[in-house]
Amino acid sequence: MLTDPASGERIDEALVLRFAAGASATGEPVAEFHVHGGRAVVQALFSALDAVEGLRPAGRGEFTRRAFLSGRLDLTEAEGIADLVAAETDAQRRFALGQMSGSIRTQYESWRDRVVRARGLIEAELDFSEEEGIAGAWSAMAKADIQVVAAEMRAAMADLGRADRIRDGAEVVILGAVNAGKSSLINALARRDVAIVSPEAGTTRDLVEAVLDLAGYRVTLVDTAGLREGAGGVEREGIRRARARGDGADLVLWLADRGAERGDGVVAAGVPVWAVATKADLLDDHGRRKLQAADHVISTATGEGIDGLLDALARFLDATLRSAEPPLVARARHRSALAEAVAALDKAVVAHAPELAAESLRVAADRIGSVTGRVGVEDVLDVVFREFCVGK
Ligand SMILES: Nc1nc2c(ncn2[C@@H]2O[C@H](COP(=O)(O)OP(=O)(O)OP(=O)(O)O)[C@@H](O)[C@H]2O)c(=O)[nH]1
Ligand SMILES: [Mg+2]
């Protein structure tokens, strides 16, 4: 039974868990109150606790921050916790869990160790050449290893979009001529009325978005203004936005009313485009035979081809985003630290004097260390813990 120490009034029957120092997530002694969740109960408990001297409510992410400060986890693991709390899809959950259990930390620590070791070699050589009076050409071994580390980091950076797409979602943009059936398709895929459908050409003028969970991946579908020549004013702006969005898409669905076109040249090179023939219910056999080149033939009126399209989208996402390796660049913070570290490593490789090489390696090791929070943490702490909610 919990009672208010000041008034002696009963608050609730509760479960109270005590963690001794070292046994809690933060490493500190902790008491947890598990109460019946009613607002009045929580309110009464809070006011009783408020009256206890030295107690105050925790700030955002304060528990995780304390766990970090006591060395229980590194910054990338803390970021993994923030991601796990925010995870909505299976892919986000898997990614966050990997990060939380140290997939990123292990790699960055290994890179840092190798850079520190190379620097050690160079410094040893420096001491040695001073004693011996030989001008040191610095260790070929250290140089080779630095180049390997730099190459591994570059490869990790090339993968940088994957983490963003797992977290923020991949983008699939629906493009096509007016009345092709774009808004009908987004409604069919999202299974709700997201966009207005009408026989009027040029119905959609702005971008309309729907977020889906497809095979565990978060996907943003974007319906757009139909492309046509001679559109004026608002519609022209809508078309400009449609094309711009298509340029940045992970995939474009190019819809054509009973046609198999691919909208050649409409979106930036490199963006995959699927040709989707719409309104199949209006086709006879002869008409269907002309659509051999289409990737998908659909009808939102009968539902034909919609499940097939969803399956294909799920396979596409899986092929693009799933890999045995977890992404190593999970955030902009990691990206910029890696870029600086690679630049410093490159500088070390071409340095003529061993002293200069050693200094560049020190910079590189610091930048790598900043990702896990080994080095220069003060300035990044607020950035990392700002995204937490209270109670974590
Ligand atoms: N028979 C049939 N009609 C369809 C199908 N899909 C869409 N339509 C009709 O085609 C017309 C245009 O559909 P929308 O989905 O508004 O087309 P849109 O591409 O979004 O058009 P804009 O926004 O004007 O560019 C509407 O009258 C729809 O009812 C279909 O699969 N079969
Ligand atoms: Mg439309």
Residue 379 has pLDDT above 70, yes or no: no
Distance of alpha carbon 274 from alpha carbon 249, whole angstroms:
12
Residue with tokens 């006879």: 284
Report the predicted TM-score, pTM, of the whole model to 2 decimal places: 0.77
What is the CB < 6 Å shell around ligand 1? 176, 178-184, 197-199, 201-204, 226, 278-279, 281-282, 299-301
How far, in Å, from the CA of 99 to the mean position of ligand 2? Answer: 40
> Distance from the CA of 236 to the center of ligand 1, in angstroms?
20
Superfamily of domain 165-321: P-loop containing nucleotide triphosphate hydrolases (3.40.50.300)
Closest listed residue to residue 377, CA positions, set 66, 69, 26, 28: 69
Task: Count the alpha carbons within 13 Å of 3 in the hemisphere toward its beta carbon.
Answer: 7
Ligand 1 geometric centre to CA of 140 (Å):
67
Q: Note whether 4 and 11 are within 8 A (CB).
A: yes
Answer whether CATH 3.10.20.600 is correct for domain 100-159+330-386: no
> Which ranges in 159-208 belong to alpha helices (H)?
160-168, 182-190
Q: How confident is the model over 189-206, as pLDDT tens digits? A: 999 999 999 999 999 999
Residue nearest to atom 32 of ligand 1 (CA): 279
* Res 36: pLDDT: 92
- List pLDDT tens digits, range 268-325: 999 999 999 999 999 998 888 889 899 999 999 999 999 999 999 999 999 888 877 7
Alpha helices in 54-102 (DSSP H): 62-69, 75-86, 90-100
Higher pLDDT, 181 or 50: 181
Candidate of 184, 185, 189 to mutate for ligand 1, largest count of ligand atoms within 8 Å of Cβ:
184
Domain boundaries, the chain: 1-57, 100-159+330-386, 165-321
What is the best residue among 196, 197, 205, 291 to mutate for testing ligand 1's pocket, by most ligand atoms within 8 Å of CB? 197
Alpha carbon of 165 to ligand 1 centroid (Å): 30
Convert the pLDDT of each residue in 54-111 to its tens digit: 888 888 888 888 988 888 889 999 999 999 999 999 999 999 999 998 989 999 999 9
CATH fold match for the domains 100-159+330-386 and 165-321: no
